[in-house]
Structure 1
Amino acid sequence: MTPAPSAKGTVPFGEHKTWYRVTGDLGSGLAPVVVVHGGPGSTHDYLLPLARLAEEGRAIVHYDQIGNGGSTHLPGRGADFWTVELFLAELDNLLTSLGIADDYVLFGQSWGGLLVAEHAAARPAGLRGLVIANSPASYPLWLEEMAVLRAQLPPGVNEMLLRHEAAGTTDSEEYYGAMTPFYEKHVCRLKPWPREYRASFYEVYNDPTVYYAMNGPSEFHVVGTLKDWGVEDRLADIAVPTLVLSGRHDEATPKTVRPYAERIPDARWVVFEDSSHLPHLEEPEAFHEVMTEYLKSL
C-alpha cells in the first residue's frame, strides 16, 4: 500500500506548471529524496512505491516532468523545445520552489538517471547523495546493446520490427504486438504488469509528444533528439556518494551501466538478479533494503 501524500500541488515553471507530490515531512531534518522518472515523457506513477521510504522519516518527492501527467502538456511543441536543458531547468526550479535546494538526494530512473547525473556533475552545493537506477550512460551505448537484445528475440520478431521501422509504420498494431516480447523480457518481467507501471505506460501513449520527440517509437528504436547524447564524459565530476542499480535482465545492460560504476569516484553498483528494468516493482523487498541501507549511510 502506497502511503498517502502529505502534500500535492504544482509549482510555476515559466509559463507552465510542474506537478509534484510529497510523502512525509520536508522539515524532518533529513535530506528529502527527489524521484526523477524515466521516458522521457513518462510519469511518476510507476515509481510511487518509493514513497514507502518515507517510513524511515525522510520525505520523498515525486513529480511529473513537463509534457506529461499532471504537469503542463504541450502537444504542439516541436522537438527543438524538448531539450535536456529544459528538464534540468525544471528540476532546479522544483528544488528551489519546494525550498529544498540546499539539502536533497536525487533518485533518477532510466532517462531520469542520465538527467540526475548531468545535474550532479555541476556539483550543486545542496546535493547529498545520488541514485542512478537502470540507466545507460549514453544513448549510443544503449543502441549498441539494443541490437544485441533484439537479435535474441523469438524467430521472426526482430525482422518484423525492422520491416515496420524501415517503412515508417511503427504506429501499427502489428508493431506494438511485436514489441511485447521485448518489454516482457527486458522492461518488466511481472505478469500481469503492476498497476503503477500500466498507469505510466498508458500516460506515455495518451500523449507521446515528449517520448516521440526525444526517444522514438519504442525503447529499442531511439531515433529522437537523444540518440547521440550521453553523460560519460561528465561522470568524473560527480562528488557525492552514488548508488548505481540495475537488473540482471535489464534493457540497460551491464555494458551501458558500467561507466557509472567505473567513472564516478564514490560509486557502488548493485545488480538485482531477478529483475529487468524495474527492480523496485520486480524485487520490492530487496530494493527497499538496498535503498534504506544507502540512505542511512549518507
Structure 2
Amino acid sequence: MVLLRDLLWSHADRVQQQTRLVPFRGNNTWVQITTPDSPRAGALPLFVLHGGPGMAHDYVRNIAALANETGRQVIHYDQIGCGRSTHLPEAPVDFWVPSLFVDEFHTVREALGIEQYHLLGQSWGGMLGAEIAVRQPAGLASLEICNSPASMALWMAAAAELRAQLPVESRAALDRHETNDTLDDPEYAAATEVFYRRHVCRVEPMPQDFVDSEKQMLADPTVYYTMNGPTEFHVVGTLQSWSVIDRLQQITAPTLVVAGEFDEATPATWAPFIEQIPAAHSHVFPGASHCTHLEQPEEFRAVIAEFLAAHE
C-alpha cells in the first residue's frame, strides 16, 4: 500500500514530481518520483540511493535532472531514520544493519510497482547498491556505484592517507580532540572542514543541497553516528567491519563505477569493484572529489546517461 502525501507539478522544469509515503516495518519511507513530460519508450526507471548513512536525499536531488535528459522516471527516497522518513532515535544499535536498507529498497520498489530498473548509489548509497546487486534481484538492468568503497577497511586506510596530507595544525587538532573525546569542540569542526573542502565537496560556497542534507543529519545523527561515526574519517560505527569484496563476483548486472580525482573514495577503495565484478567499467572525473554530481553536474549526468542508455 502506498499513501499519497503530496503531489507537485513543475511545468517550468517540464517534469512531474510526486511524493509519497510507503509503509515499511510499521514506519514510513518518504519517496519522490520525478517523471518527464515526454517519457522515452523503453527507458527504465532509475532509483537513486543517497549516502551517509543518514544524509537524506537532498544533496543528490539534482540527479533528478536525468528525468528530462533521458526521458525516464527518477526515484529518490529518504532512507528510514532520516530526512522526511520516520526517525527512530530509540532504535537499538543492532537495528541499523545493511539488510534493513536492502529490505526497504525492495519495499519501495514493490510499492511503486516497478519490476525493471536501474540503480544508482552515491557513497554509502553505492555500498547499499552493491548489497542489493549481490543478491541478484530480478529486473536490475544496471548498477552505478558512485564514490563508494568496497570495504570500510579500505575506506579507513584511504582516509588515513589523505588525513596525513592535511596541514600540521589541522592534523594536530584532529588527533588532540579524538584522544580527549572532545569532538564537539569548534576547533575539531574547523579541522574536519579542511578535510571536507579537499575531499568531500570542492565547491565554494558549499552547495545548498549539501547544506540541507548535512543540517538534517546533524539535527538527528542517529543513523550516521551509529553506523559510521562522528566524521568521514573517524569511523567507529557498526559499518566499521563492513565489506562486500568476497561477494562481488555474484553481481551479474552491468556496473559502472565513478569517482573524483580528489575523492575520499580513492582508487584503492573501489578497485575491487573493477577487479571482481564481471565487465565492470570505471570513470574518474578530473578535478572533482566525493560529491562529483555537485561539482560537475552536467558531466556527471552525461556519463551516467550514456551508461543507462547502453543497458536498457
The reply on whether 1:129 has 2:142 as its aligned counterpart is yes
**Matching of residue 267 in structure 1 with residue 280 in structure 2:** yes
Q: Structure 2 stretches of 5 or more lacking a match?
A: 1-11
Matched, 1:83 2:69: no
Task: Decide which of 48, 59, 62 is 2:76's aligned counterpart.
Answer: 62
Residue identity matched to 1:86: L
For 1:59, give the aligned amino acid.
Answer: Q
Match of 2:106 in 1: 92
Task: Choose the corresponding residue for 1:37, options 41, 47, 50.
Answer: 50
Kept in 2: contact 1:36–1:116 (CA 8 A): yes
Partners of 1:31 and 1:289 lie apart in 2 by 17
Aligned position for 2:305? 292
Q: CA deviation at 1:172?
A: 2.0
Cα deviation for residue 290 of structure 1 reads 0.5
Distance 1:28 1:5 in 2: 17
Which residue pairs with 1:156 in the alignment? 169
* SS in structure 2 of the partner of residue 277 of structure 1: coil
Would you identify which runs of 4 or more consecutive aligned residues in structure 1 move more than 4 Å? Answer: 1-5, 25-29
Pick from 276, 279, 286: which aligns with 2:289?
276
Task: Measure the CA separation in 2 of the matches of 1:182 and 1:33.
Answer: 31
Match of 2:226 in 1: 213
The answer to whether the 8 Å contact 1:110/1:134 transfers is yes
- Measured on the aligned residues, the alpha-carbon RMSD in Å equals 1.5
Mapping for residues 8-23 of structure 1, pairs under 5 Å: 8-23=19-34
Contact 2:98 2:131 (C-alpha < 8 Å) held by counterparts: no
Give the aligned residue type for 1:234. Answer: R
| Residue 187 (structure 1) aligned with residue 209 (structure 2) | no
Task: Return closer, same or farther for 1:3/1:166 CA change in 2, 3 Å cut-off.
Answer: farther
Shift of residue 6, structure 1, vs aligned partner: 2.6
- Name which of 73, 76, 79 aligns with 2:87: 73
Q: Does 1:173 align with 2:186?
A: yes
The amino acid that maps onto 1:158 is: R
Task: Report the secondary structure of 1:24's partner residue.
Answer: strand
Match of 1:53 in 2: 66
Q: 2:31 is matched by which residue type in structure 1?
A: Y
- Amino acid paired to 1:18: T
- Return 5+ residue gaps in structure 1 as ranges: none
Partner Cα separation in structure 1 for residue 179 and residue 226 of structure 2: 18
- Identity among equivalent positions (%) equals 49
In 1, are the aligned partners of 2:40 and 2:71 still within 8 Å (CA)? Answer: no
The 2-side partners of 1:218 and 1:6 are apart by 33
Equivalent pairs counted in the alignment come to: 297
Question: Which residue is equivalent to 1:120?
Answer: 133
Aligned equivalents of 1:128 and 1:226: distance in 2? 27
- Local SS of the residue matching 1:152: coil
Task: Supply the distance in 1 between the matched residues of 2:135 and 2:152 (Cα, whole angstroms).
Answer: 21
Alpha-carbon distance in structure 1 between the residues aligned to 2:13 and 2:220: 25
Judged with a 3 Å threshold, the aligned counterparts in structure 2 of structure 1 residues 186 and 2 are, in CA distance, closer, same or farther, namely farther
Instruction: Give the superposition deviation at 1:29.
Output: 4.2
2:270 is matched with which residue?
Answer: 257
SS at match of 1:6: strand
Q: Please point out which of 221, 241, 251 is paired with 2:254.
A: 241
Q: Tell me the amino acid that sits aligned with residue 124 of structure 1.
A: P
TM-score w.r.t. the length of structure 1 is: 0.96
Superposed CA offset, 1:188-207 (max 9, x none): 00000111111111111111
1:160-201 Cα distance to aligned partner (Å, 9 max, x none)? 111111221112222111101100000000000111111111
